[in-house]
Amino acid sequence: MRPILTIAACALLAACDAQAPDAADQAAAAAMADALRAAPGWITGGCGDVLLFGRNANDTRAFFVNLPDMATDSHNLGRIRHTYTLPSPDVGISAEDGLRLTSTTCVGMRPPQNPRVTRSWEAVSGTLTVDVVPTGSSPSATATVTARNVVFSDGAGLTFTATSLRVPVTSVGFYPP
């Protein structure tokens, strides 16, 4: 899961500057909202147990969906079909602006390229529907997710809404060498 320690530390310690979002922040949120409207044409993928992502062609805008242990759980429990209300302690969605955002996600044998996140947002409301189907040996599976009316927040009062995000059927899990 993408770290949210900075946001949590600010909330717990009240140690962060709570300035109102400036014009650049508002423009970045608006640009991300516009970009996510085009997300059906984005490159999507996934791996692990379970991390899914969508990104634009030059990897400067991305969203991430974290479904902890769902590939393994699908082998133990059978197909998992569930709709979560966000935020949920069981799943997470984040959106990011920056450079090479997915270069360390599901890298396999290629070397990572040190992503640089310039802005991030966490889902604070909406719904996430997951469908995880076991395949092969544990914990391999396929996963499909659809998010609807997701409100993202930067933790400082700036929000935007993504009406629909989808990662189509994607192979996830870990595979034997």
Give the SS3 label for residue 43: strand
Q: Tell me the C-alpha distance between 173 and 138, whole Å.
A: 8
Q: Tell me the C-alpha distance between 90 and 104, whole Å.
A: 23
Indicate if the alpha-carbon torsion angle 162, 120, 101, 73 is positive or negative. Answer: negative
pLDDT for the residue 18: 42
pLDDT for the residue 64: 92
pLDDT for the residue 177: 43
pLDDT for the residue 39: 65
Cross-strand partners of 147: 128, 165
pLDDT < 50 regions, the chain: 1-19, 109, 177
Q: Tell me the C-alpha distance between 173 and 134, whole Å.
A: 9
Predicted model pTM: 0.79
pLDDT for the residue 112: 58
Phi, then psi, of 76 in degrees rounded to 5: -80, -35
pLDDT for the residue 106: 77
